[in-house]
Structure 1
Amino acid sequence: MLTATQETKSDLLKDLGLPENSAFAALDKLTDTESRYLRDLRVNLKTALAGETLSLKEAYLLAVASAANEENHHLSQAFEAKAIENGAEQGEIAEAIACASLLATNNILYRFRHFAHKDVYEQLPARVKMNIMANPVLGKEFFELVSLAISAINGCERCVAAHETSVLKLGATEARIFDAIRVAAVVVGLSKIIK
């Protein structure tokens, strides 16, 4: 007979579409020590993905981008499958991953400019191609929302402020923004346990 924590582990893996016999050191440690956090983690994931202002497709695409940003292969595959299950096309998944890559690049450049506090760096061109932003498959508002979430993960204050302003101008609400940030935050937390 399974303990409550073992059942929670099993349910979490089922939620993600991962095999129940999957072995992840941190997840197994939480399970073996009957950690109450495991239940919180599962509830947090379910709550984040069921945000009131995001469709399940959008929530899973945000999760794909967040997992890609964290370089978590297991979660990337799991969330890709869930995104497809909820109507995402391969081009949308590819663009969510590309967005994570582009924003990782931009976040480093703009964070450096911010940290250095030197006019010379502000005046030098970034010389980073960003054609994907011009006509995104995901649509401009959602692409900006994903960009904002990845910028929040990567801790780029300037990028967060710019993308938040942009996504609001494109019609998003603060509630939608916060739902997207919650998905990103929970995926990052989950990536510390399932890796």
Structure 2
Amino acid sequence: MSESTETITELLQSIGIDTAYRTASLSLLEKGDSRYLRDLKLNFTSTLTSEHLSTKECALLGLSVAVNNNNNPLIAFYTKYATEQGANDAEIAEAAACASLLASNNIFYRFRHFTQKEKYSQIPARIRMQIMMKPVTGKEFFELMSLTISAVNGCEMCVNAHEDSLIKLNTTEERIFDAIRIASLVTSAGAIIN
């Protein structure tokens, strides 16, 4: 077994996927004996823990990003991991709901930002957002999930608004930075494992 195949096997085992599983992207890395496979494995592993987030929070952030990216293997992994870290069904559902809500918000507010027309800012959004009022994961963590999804989706206006809310909620910049780091690495893994 080549070193690349061995690294892929370890990565797939850690995600709970059959070691014979291959995507076109994963096959390209394996065929080219890419050194990146080791980085991919280590980066993915680093999404599971943080100095500034609990393991349950890491799992819920990973789940929310996997739902946002419509990545079924990672949704299954992070759902299981979140449960193992003490997340209940309502918290897991909220991570998925946050991804869905922010998908609409990011498109809507990004459009307003791109056009910069006052008229569009005056027309009511008519997007239901009741989940933001009393989230089961708490206001601060829901804002953190919202920020990560907004960053993944590239909505500058939303990123700035959620980061500002988090600072006002006394969230440390290190905590915010770690959440974004995790989101970027879940997205990176999902580009190869999908």
Give TM class, smaller chain: over 0.9
For residues 172-183 of structure 1, the aligned pairs below 5 Å read: 172-183=171-182
Distance in 2, matches of 1:134 and 1:163, equals 14
Secondary structure at the residue paired with 2:19?
coil
User: Which aligned pairs between 1:39-188 and structure 2 lie closer than 5 A?
Assistant: 39-188=38-187
Q: TM-score, normalised by structure 2?
A: 0.96
State how far apart, in whole Å, the 1-side matches of 2:86 and 2:30 are. 33
TM-score w.r.t. the length of structure 1 is 0.96
Amino acid paired to 1:108 = I
- Structure 2: distance between partners of 1:3 and 1:54: 36
CA-CA distance at 1:29 after TM superposition:
2.0
Kindly provide the amino acid, as one letter, of the partner of residue 21 in structure 1. Answer: A
Higher mean C-alpha displacement, 42-51 vs 7-16:
42-51
- SS state of the match for residue 190, structure 1? helix
Report the Cα offset of residue 30 of structure 1.
1.0
Q: Which amino acid aligns with 1:133?
A: M
State the Cα distance separating 1:102 from its structure 2 match.
Answer: 0.3
Inter-partner Cα distance in structure 2 for 1:45 and 1:73: 16
Report the equivalent of 1:23. Answer: 22
- Aligned residue identity for 1:157: E
Alpha-carbon shift at residue 22 of structure 1 (Å) = 1.9
1:103 touches 1:150 (CA, 8 Å); kept in 2? Answer: yes
Q: How big is the shift at 1:23? A: 2.5
Distance in structure 2 (CA, Å) of the matches to 1:7 and 1:60? 25
Contact kept, 8 Å, 2:106 with 2:153, in 1: the verdict is yes
Answer whether contact 1:68 1:76 (CA < 8 A) is retained. yes
Q: CA RMSD in A?
A: 1.0
Structure 2, unmatched stretches of 5+, are: none
Amino acid at match of 2:136: V
1:177 Cα deviation from its structure 2 partner? 0.4
Mean Cα displacement is larger for which, 94-103 or 5-14?
A: 5-14
The residue identity in structure 1 corresponding to 2:126 is: R
For residue 153 of structure 1, report the CA deviation from its aligned partner: 0.4
Q: Deviations over 1:22-56 (max 9, x none)?
A: 22221122122211111111111222332211111
How far residue 130 of structure 1 moved from its aligned partner, in angstroms, is: 0.3
The DSSP-based 3-state class of the residue aligned with 1:128 is coil
- In structure 2, C-alpha distance between the alignment counterparts of 1:138 and 1:182, rounded to whole Å: 20
The more displaced of 80-89 and 44-53 is 44-53
Cα shift readout 1:101-135 (whole Å, capped 9, x = no counterpart): 00010011100000001100011110101000010
Q: 2:100 is matched by which residue type in structure 1?
A: S
Identity of aligned residues (%): 52
Q: Distance in 1 between matches of 2:133 and 2:32?
A: 50
Say whether the 8 Å CA contact 2:65–2:149 is kept in structure 1.
yes
Q: Displacement, 1:69?
A: 0.5
Counterpart AA for 1:193: I
- Consecutive unaligned residues of structure 1, counting only runs of 5 or more, are none
